[in-house]
Amino acid sequence: MERLIVVHWSKSTGPEPIIQYPPTPTPHFPSKELFLKIWALHELDKDSSIIQFIPEMEQEQYISIIQKFEGEIYFLVVVYDKKAELEKIIKDYQGDILAIVSKNLIELVNTNKITRAISEAFYTIRDYSKLEKEENLLNFFKDKIKFTILQILRNGIISKADLNNILRKEYGFSTLNIDLLLISFIRENLIVKQNVPGSKECYFLVKDLVCTRIPPKVLTSSQIQDDIIGDYEEKLINFYMNYDCTSEIENKIILNFLMDKDNYLLLRELREKSLSVSTCLDLLNNKEDLFNELMEKNIIYESKGRVFLFSDVRFIKFTPYYLINKLTKRYKNKEISFDEYLTHLKLLTERYNINNNLIDYEII
């Protein structure tokens, strides 16, 4: 992604670019002719708020999202280089993000917050597209504000207004853009946003997220030598028979492991195949102490110069049935209304009604 441009549609003069990010020393926008072509595509496809425009013989291509606000029409133009796959961007991961970002941005267009907002919007879109799935999930724990929001959501239903107040008054986050912060929660299907009688814009945690170790894929005889596999499997069985994930989750031991980029690169490689000790050290930037620590913590297994994955580290999404007790207590204490209580209960039990099983999780 190259840049973002906010454009206003004037009924008398046509497209009027307002602001772009990153800024240039002297304001330089695409031609009015280009904006007119984008506008024409919106007019031809009124059933969709998002269109793509790929000009011939140009170095740039465009995604545009149209929004109406206070009787005026705006569109957010996202500029990409010619190598970007626009259809894939819209379909796979950014269509809903672009829609939410553009709505939030346009609502601030005539305020003194627009400069900061377009900067936040740019990095929200860019960073999400650059990161892999696991890295996006890791941000729920690395980002202080997102982790705080996750902790608050683990108490059950909360309104947007209450969430904003708690973050400001209890945690000291003074400048917030709640809509942008919650995009990733919605995108990963961790929360649902609904209006409840008497309460507007409420958020419900429907999937929680943990990071833990799990056994690696079973190795075949072609992947590990016969004289090694017996010892490897015995140690694997003994470790996981006595493994208590709770303490590691609470102490963030495994999570801290994944936050180290060198560890993450080694983990990705070992998921695919065994490696030599020297290759592992190269991936760890020759940190022998770290290599030894990974063996001591039963992350990797080494024998005869070959290194195998002993513990895979994965994110797990699961239905937070633990919230049922919390919601019941909050309702009895008159902290939430009956409608709020019932709505969250229904959202939590939907999966159970389908599967008739309280064990509901997904390994990412």
pLDDT (tens digit, 9 = 90+) per residue, 237-267?
Answer: 999 998 888 888 887 888 888 888 888 889 9
- pLDDT for 361 equals 85
Amino acid at 276: S
As a whole number, mean pLDDT of residues 12-20 equals 91
**Mean pLDDT confidence for 165-190:** 83
Give the C-alpha separation, 219 to 273, whole Å: 9
Q: What is the mean pLDDT of residues 159-178?
A: 85
pLDDT (0 to 100) of residue 236: 92
Q: What is the pTM of this model?
A: 0.74
Per-residue confidence band for 221, with pLDDT thresholds at 50, 70 and 90: low
Which range among 95-99, 272-276, 310-314, 326-330 shows the weakest confidence by mean pLDDT? 95-99
In the CATH scheme, what is the code of domain 210-316? Answer: 1.10.10
In the chain, % of residues over pLDDT 90: 42
Q: With 80 as the cut, is the pLDDT of residue 3 above it?
A: yes
CA separation for the pair 270, 72 (Å, rounded): 54
> What are the domain boundaries of the chain?
3-130, 134-207+323-363, 210-316
pLDDT reported for residue 208: 95
- Long-range contacts made by residues 34-37, C-beta under 8 angstroms, separation at least 24? 34/62, 35/7, 35/77
pLDDT band at 104 (very low <50, low <70, confident <90, very high): confident
Q: What is the mean pLDDT of the chain?
A: 87
- The reported pLDDT for the residue numbered 96 is 66
* Per-residue confidence band for 100, with pLDDT thresholds at 50, 70 and 90: confident
Mean pLDDT along residues 131-159: 88
**Cα–Cα distance for residue pair 38/302, rounded to 1 Å:** 58
pLDDT at 222: 65
- 318 band by pLDDT with thresholds 50, 70 and 90: very high
pLDDT at 194: 92
Is pLDDT at 129 greater than 70 in this prediction?
no
Give me the mean pLDDT over the 73-90 stretch.
Answer: 84
> Between the CA of residue 352 and those of 111, 165, 355, 358, 362, what are the distances in Å?
46, 33, 5, 6, 14
**What is the SS3 string spanning 131-192?**
CCHHHHHHHHHHCHHHHHHHHHHCCCCEEHHHHHHHHHHCCCCCCCCHHHHHHHHHHCCCEE
The number of C-alpha atoms within 13 Å of 267 and in the hemisphere containing its C-beta is 21
Which stretch of DSSP H or E encloses residue 77?
strand 72-81
pLDDT score of 174 more than 80? no
Q: What is the pLDDT of residue 130?
A: 57
Q: State what percent of residues in the chain have pLDDT above 70.
A: 94
User: In angstroms, rounded to a whole number, what is the distance separating the alpha carbons of residues 146 and 134?
Assistant: 15
The confidence band for 270, taking pLDDT boundaries of 50, 70 and 90, is very high
State the chain's maximal CA–CA distance in angstroms.
Answer: 81
CA 224 to CA 228: how far, in whole Å? 7
What is the dihedral sign for C-alpha 259, 265, 268, 271? Answer: negative
Helices (H), 170-225: 178-187
pLDDT for 226 beyond 80:
no
Phi/psi at 55 (nearest 5 deg)? -70, 150
CATH tag, 134-207+323-363? 1.10.10
- Beta-carbon contacts of 90 under 8 Å, excluding residues fewer than 6 positions away, are 50, 52, 63, 98
DSSP secondary structure code for residue 23 in this structure? -
The answer to whether 134-207+323-363 and 210-316 have equal CATH topology is yes
pLDDT (mean) for 339-354: 88
Reported CATH class of domain 3-130 = alpha beta
Q: What are phi and psi of 324, to 5 degrees?
A: -60, -45
Of 106, 100, 281, the closest CA to residue 186 belongs to 100
CB atoms within 10 A of CB 238: 10
* 361-363 vs 312-318, strand pairing mode: antiparallel
pLDDT band at 131 (very low <50, low <70, confident <90, very high): low
As a whole number, mean pLDDT of residues 116-133 equals 77
Q: What tokens appear for 225 in the block?
A: 């030598």
